[in-house]
Structures are given as C-alpha cells and as structure tokens.
Structure 1
Amino acid sequence: MLERLNQAMEHIERHLDQVVDVGGLARVAATSEYHLRRMFSALAGMPLSEYVRRRRLTVAGAEVLAGRESLLVIAVRYGYGSGESFARAFRAMHGVGPGEARRTGAALVSQPRLAFRLTVEGSSSMRYRVEDRAAFTVVGPRARVPLVHRGPNQAIIDFTRGIPPETTERLAELSDQEPRGIVAVCDDLDPSRAEGTELDYYQGVITSASGDAPEGTAALAVPAGTWAVFTASGPMPEAVQELWRDVFTEWFPANPYRSRPGPEILRTRLSPDGKEADAELWLPVEPERG
C-alpha cells in the first residue's frame, strides 16, 4: 500500500500544473478515492487537497523568484484564474505577495515533497477482529459538530450533557446488537478529515427496533457489510484519538483492507474517575482489490 501511495505522490509531482484528478490518483494507488483521502489525511496530517495546493505554491514561489515569466503566466499555470486570486493564495502561504517577493527576493515557505515509509517498532500489537454484519439501525440524538483531532471536543461534551437522562435510559432498552449499550457514532465526515470540518454525531444505540425510537432522536439505517473492530485501553481522550490514528497509519498499510463509506462507531467504558477508558472502535471496511 505504501509503495502505491508513493507512486501517487510522484504522479502529483508530474502534474502540478494540471487539475489533480483524485479518481486517477486512486487508480495509481490501487485503492478507492474514499480510502485514498482517508489514508493520506491520517499519514500526512493534512488533507490531500491542501498538500497539492501547498506543493503548487511552493513550485510557483520558486518560479516567481526566478523572474523569467510574468506573474499572470505563473498564476494561470498553477490553476489560478486571476492575478488577484493567485496573490491571495500566495500571501496566505508565504506571508508576502508574489510581486513583493520578486522585488525583494523574500524568503518563502516550502512544502516538502512527501514520501511514505513504514517504521516497524514492534513494541505492541493491535487487537482487532473482522466480521460481517447484517443491516442495522443507529438510533439516538444527533448533532452537527466539528472534528477535533486532539483533546476534548467541547461541542460533543455540551451536546451529550444536554441529553435528558430519560432519553438515555429508553435508548439503552433498545440496544439489542453489538456493540451494546450507548455508543458514539460519527457519520457524513468530510473526506479530507481536516480539523474543524463537520460531521453528524449520534449518541445512541445499535438496534433492530428503530420504530420504538424516543422522541427527539434520529435514525440512521446502516446496510449490511464488513467491519473491522479495534480495542484499546488508556487515558481519555488520548487513547481513543491515538487508536483512530494508529488504525490508519499502521493497520491499513499492513493489512489487505481499505475503508469504505459508512458510520464509525465507538463504544467506551470509563473508569470510576472518568480518566481512563476501555474503547472498542468499529470501522466499515472492504477487502483491497489487487
């Protein structure tokens, strides 16, 4: 998988002056467009689109300083429809406009080319299983919240605190499938998984009795499919956030599966003081095709 990702990175470099076709990149990487975006974001720490933008502006910056072509020619080459839009993007990355950079020879910001390598530490093994599931329904209160990569998500904290205890009790009675009990479900995430992008968050249960949903809750029908289930223990919320990260940076590159569209389900069991947790993460997957 990493070799294919590096081939996709090389493809980007050869076509920085063209519109990047993510579908074509996915074919180079021999995976789905959805999984490519997810994998890249997890490995690189930024969305694929942001990396391409920064690489274009890095190369454009070198051409601006070289002074051989007009600023408009460079702007159009790297996908900007006007000198003004190019100047705004250039300034946002480099901290100086292209005209001033050319006049003064200012120092510019550089986005290095990315190459992915697998570092084998061998200090611990990841606990997981893969299972096929029939269709089921997620039922629970729903909110649109921002994605937070590290630390507490205050929007989720405020939302869950506002759920009436009687609603939680009624939902718990509906739970009749694994993972049992109250779970956190994330759906409709932005493919980039960039910090601050929004997602649908459910605080609910997995059930076959969606017709008995309490007032004020929403239902999400989930079709049959394959799921990878990961478990971890440790301090909250770091243990959960690191589990999510490790799945995409370690497990997917080493296993013949890729992510597929669908909700991500997390069940946590907190220690009495709320500082530690046992976590079980369910992710929709499908076999990689050669």
Structure 2
Amino acid sequence: MEWISCIHKTIKYIEENLLEENCAEKALREIYMSPMLFNKGFQILTGYSPSTYVRNRRLYLAGKEIKETDRKILDIALDYGFETAESFTKAFTRFHGSNPTQVRQGADLHVFLPLKINLSVYGGDQLKCTVRHMEQIKIAGYVREFASEDAREKIPGFWDEVLAKDNSAGEYALCIDDMGKEKFHYLIGKKIDDEKIPEGMEIYVLPEQDWAVFECHGENPEAIQSLDEKIWKEWLPGNSEYELDGNINVEWYGKDQDSAIWLPVKSI
C-alpha cells in the first residue's frame, strides 16, 4: 500500500476505535506493512509513535469530559483505558500540566486534535537511490532489543559498547521486526561467508530480494539519521513505483564516511 495512504488509514482507524484496547496495534494489522518500519516512518513524519498518539488523544478527550460533564473522574479514567485513578492522574497531570480535579475546577487543557497529514513533497529526486536485486547475505552481529519510541536516542550507546569490544563489527546494522508491540531487535555486525558463528554473535540472513539503496556521505550518526528522515518524508511520499516489502531496515557503513540505507521493496 502507498505510504501516505497507510498513514491516513491508520489515523482513521485509530480515531474510529480510540477506546478499543490495543487500537494502535490493531490499526497496523489493517495496512499489511512491517509494524517496525511503519512505526519508524510514522514517528519521523508526525513526531509521535502510534501508541503515544493514541495516549495523547485519549488524555485530551478525557480532559474534555472532565471539564464538560459531572461524571466521576474514575469512571472517565476507566473508559479511556486506565486501570487505576493513580495511573490516570499521573499521566493526565504530565500531559495537561494540571491534575483532573484542577481541570474540573477550570484549569486549561492541553489541546491535542486528530492529525491531518498534508505533505509538500520535495527533493526526493535528489536522493541517491537505486533499486537493486541482491542475493542473500549472511550477517553475524551483536543484538539488543529496543523500543521504537526512544531507539534513536539509545542506539548510539549500543554502538559505543559494540565497537569498544569489537571494532570490526560495524559494517552493517539491521533493524529487525520480529517482536511486535513497537519493539524490535537491532543487530550491529559484519558480513561472513562461512557457517562458524563468532563468539558472542548471532546470525541473521538477509533474504534475496529487491532493495532500495540510498547512499550518503558524512559523519555518523548525524548523516545516516538525516538520510533516514529524507527517505520517509520525501522519497516514500513521492514514490509511485515501489512499496515496502519486508520486515527489515539495513544500514551499511563503508570507508571514508560513506554509508547507505537499504529498504526492502517491490514494484507497485
């Protein structure tokens, strides 16, 4: 499915099923795309993970009910997915800057309306992108679990740990969608040709398929993160030939500050 259509469909589903348990997770089932890749693109494009978007919408609407009705605050909290008054009050106060009682007494709400995605697509043709069919590649690396919401801040620390113990391991980095619930495995490693697994490493085999390869040059992680944003904000919205087709995102690091991002794709 075309990328912007996926975004619109997900937001529409969330808004229509906002009080349903796990509605963000269920929305992703409607678009037939890797949840990890979608979550990543959604967060780059909107500034929120799908689950954060759901939580913020619920807290805003709960605040409206508290301000506009005389329903019991606990009943409202339960309706909006909170199991206890304490957990609701803590999340509510953090979001609105006032607790539920203060809002009922007249304190202002933090307004959080449904997202409207209107893109001005530009610059996509300036990205260095080629679509290549590649044979399978065997990668050996060190693996750690990350949450989509804060992965960008935490992954550089994992790089420091890996390179401190094995400075030959930084040729590839793989984001692998095999966990669900906005979590994924991140592997830092190198290409290997034999069956022997280096001590402390795990093996992952990149499948034979078509890959959209985006090249960049510059100091990392800044260069690769900037390229990542351009792909999701410019290339995918403006692309009418290919769609994402897989559950993995590959980063490749070469010499002299050359690097690249590979995304699994197929023709539309």
Q: What TM-score results when the alignment is normalised by the length of structure 1?
A: 0.75
What's the counterpart of residue 129 of structure 1?
130
Distance 1:31 1:94, change over 3 A: same
Question: 1:253–1:98: structure 2 CA closer, same or farther, 3 Å change rule?
Answer: same
The answer for the alignment partner of 1:116 in structure 2 is 117
Distance 1:54 1:152, change over 3 A: closer
Q: After superposition, give the CA deviation of every residue in 1:220-266 in whole Å (9 maximum; x if it has no partner).
A: 23333332211012343321111112112222222231252125232
Alignment partners' CA distance in 2, 1:143 and 1:27 = 26
Q: Does residue 107 of the first structure (1) align with residue 108 of the second (2)?
A: yes
Structure 1, unaligned stretches of length 5 or more?
172-181, 271-276
Cα 1:201–1:281 change in 2 (3 A) is same
Supply the RMSD in Å over aligned alpha carbons: 3.1
- Hey, what does 1:81 align to over in structure 2? 83
Partner of 1:91 in structure 2?
93
Deviations 1:113-150 (A, max 9, x none): 2111221334861111222333331024x153766537
What's the secondary structure of 2:255's corresponding residue?
strand
Which structure 2 residue ranges, 5 or more long, are not aligned? Answer: none
Structure 1 residues 65 and 244: alpha-carbon distance in aligned structure 2, compared to 1, 3 A threshold: same
Distance verdict in 2 for CA 1:94–1:202, change over 3 Å? same
Distance 1:260 1:152 in 2: 22
1:209 maps to 194
2:17–2:23 contact (8 Å) kept in structure 1 = no
Q: Deviations over 1:91-116 (max 9, x none)?
A: 2322332123213x122322232111
Moved more, 111-120 or 40-49: 111-120
Kept in 2: contact 1:186–1:265 (CA 8 A):
yes
1:56 corresponds to which residue? 58
Q: Could you tell me which residue of structure 2 aligns to residue 41 of structure 1?
A: 43
Residue 155 of structure 1 aligns with which residue?
158
Task: Tell me, yes or no, if structure 1 residue 222 matches structure 2 residue 224.
Answer: no
Residues 31-74 of structure 1 show CA distances to partners (whole Å, capped at 9, x for unaligned) of 42524323312211221011011011011111111133221221
Give the aligned residue type for 1:162: K
Is 1:285 the counterpart of 2:265 in the alignment? yes
Structure 1 contact 48–192 (Cα < 8 Å) conserved? no
- For the residue of structure 2 that corresponds to 1:149, the secondary structure is helix
Aligned to 1:237: 221
Equivalent position amino acid for 1:264 in 2: V
In the alignment, what sits opposite 1:179?
A: none
Question: Any conservation in 1 of the 2:77–2:83 contact (CA below 8 Å)?
Answer: yes
Corresponding letter in the other structure for 1:32: M
The aligned amino acid for 2:263 is L
CA distance in 2, matches of 1:10, 1:221: 36
| Bigger mean CA deviation after superposition, 149-158 or 42-51 | 149-158
- The amino acid across from 1:265 in the alignment is E
For 1:15, the equivalent position in structure 2 comes to 17
| AA partner of residue 285 (structure 1) | V
Q: Distance in 2 between matches of 1:56 and 1:217?
A: 42
TM-score (norm 2): 0.80
Instruction: Decide whether aligned partners of structure 1 residues 200 and 31 sit closer, same or farther in structure 2, where only a CA change above 3 A counts.
Output: closer
Task: Verify: 1:200 aligned to 2:186, yes or no.
Answer: yes
Residue 149 to residue 36, structure 1, CA distance change in 2 (3 Å)? closer
